[in-house]
Amino acid sequence: MPNPALTEAVYYILLSLQEPLHGYGIIQNVDKLSGGRVRLAAGTLYGALNTLLDKGWIRALENEADSRKKEYRITEAGLDVLKAEVRRLRELLENGMRILGEEER
Amino acid sequence: MRKIVKKWFWVWEFDKEEQWLNEMAAKGLALVGVGFCRYEFEECVPGEYQVRLELLENQLQHAESQQYIRFLEETGVEQVGNYFRWVYFRKKTADGPFDLYSDLESRIKHLKRIIALVLPISGANLCIGFSNVGNAVRTGIGLANVGYLNLALGLLGCFGAWKLSKKRKRLEAEAQIFE
């Protein structure tokens, strides 16, 4: 069975974690990517990160300098999920454009 | 200068409590400590802070809770007090909007946690109340008054849980359409 749709938060978190980031870095990156539209709240982000860790879609990198400040990065499994989601979103978008496109013009 | 205000909120009025604390902060009184029916404030620049409160999953000393609070601190959030598992946070308004939750799912989860706190206590009060009143009526001796008090508290708690559940249902209906 293909993965069900990702939430907007999870989608942008996975997209952000192509490079290692800590919590606040993720919030800032998502804000930037979405042009300020998606503001991740810290509590929601914390819950999402733990779920993603459990699923093995991201992993925590140990930081020697400050072990309390954890950085995260996407895994191979996470990348597969993300790519599948982009394909799913393309289908949604193409159907929307095709069916509504005429009326929009 | 420190200012202490005595005030009582029921658990299910936590958003009212939060709103009141934010009104105080807007007036220039920042929360610095919490106790039983007791709020301690310190003067601040009006509007300097935004306040949020949350019922943690575990006790404050629990490693999981501490890890969560450290995580929040990284994003500019400060813990200013706690009352059992209830934790009070603040963030500088200048650092942007302050919310702990940005989606329906995490809000629903928080509500469930509060309901799970209120319901067992209410149920226990109802049981103790029935048994005390029953005993007192049957034997003519015993703790009828305490029993009535338990019954009243139990009913009130059930009312609170009902209010929270209504809110939860509303969010869940919304979650079927939106995130």
pLDDT, tens digit, 9 for 90 and up, residues A65-95: 665 678 999 999 999 999 999 999 999 999 9
pLDDT-derived band at A1, boundaries 50, 70, 90: low
- Return d(Cα B148, Cα A23) in angstroms, integer: 50
Are B91 and B146 members of one domain? Answer: no
pLDDT-derived band at B126, boundaries 50, 70, 90: very high
Domains of chain A: 8-104 (1.10.10.10)
Are B91 and B144 members of one domain? Answer: no
Are B7 and B81 members of one domain? Answer: yes
Are B151 and B68 members of one domain? Answer: no
Question: What interface predicted TM-score (ipTM) does this complex get?
Answer: 0.88
Reading the block at residue B96, the tokens are: 């942007």
Tell if the CB–CB gap between A39 and B102 is shorter than 8 Å.
yes
Domain count of the fold of chain B: 2
For testing contact with chain B, the best of A24, A30, A44, A66 (most B CBs within 10 A):
A44
Are B54 and B11 members of one domain? Answer: yes
Q: B41, B71, B95: which is the final residue of a domain?
A: B95
- Identify which of B160, B177, B156 has the alpha carbon closest to the alpha carbon of residue B14: B160
Helix (H) or strand (E) holding A86: helix A76-104
Residue B169, min C-alpha distance to chain A (Å): 20
Are B118 and B145 members of one domain? Answer: yes
Tell if the CB–CB gap between B71 and A46 is shorter than 8 Å.
yes
- Residue B120 to residues A38, B58, B124, B133, B158, Cα–Cα distance (Å): 37, 17, 6, 20, 10
- Return d(Cα A86, Cα A11) in angstroms, integer: 9
Are B144 and B110 members of one domain? Answer: yes
Residue B44, min C-alpha distance to chain A (Å): 24
Question: Nearest chain B Cα to A48, which residue?
Answer: B106
Tell if the CB–CB gap between A22 and B74 is shorter than 8 Å.
yes
Question: Nearest chain B Cα to A68, which residue?
Answer: B70
- Residue A65 to residues A21, B58, B63, Cα–Cα distance (Å): 15, 28, 21
Are B10 and B84 members of one domain? Answer: yes
Are B113 and B149 members of one domain? Answer: yes
Segment B22-35 mean pLDDT: 96
Question: How confident is the model at residue A64, as a pLDDT?
Answer: 59
Residues in chain A: 105
Residue A33, min C-alpha distance to chain B (Å): 17
Q: B95, B117, B149: which is the final residue of a domain?
A: B95
Are B149 and B78 members of one domain? Answer: no
Tell if the CB–CB gap between B99 and A47 is shorter than 8 Å.
no
Q: B15-29: b or e for each residue (b if 16 or more CB lie within 10 Å)?
A: eebbebbbebbeeeb
Are B35 and B80 members of one domain? Answer: yes
Domain that holds residue B68: 2-95
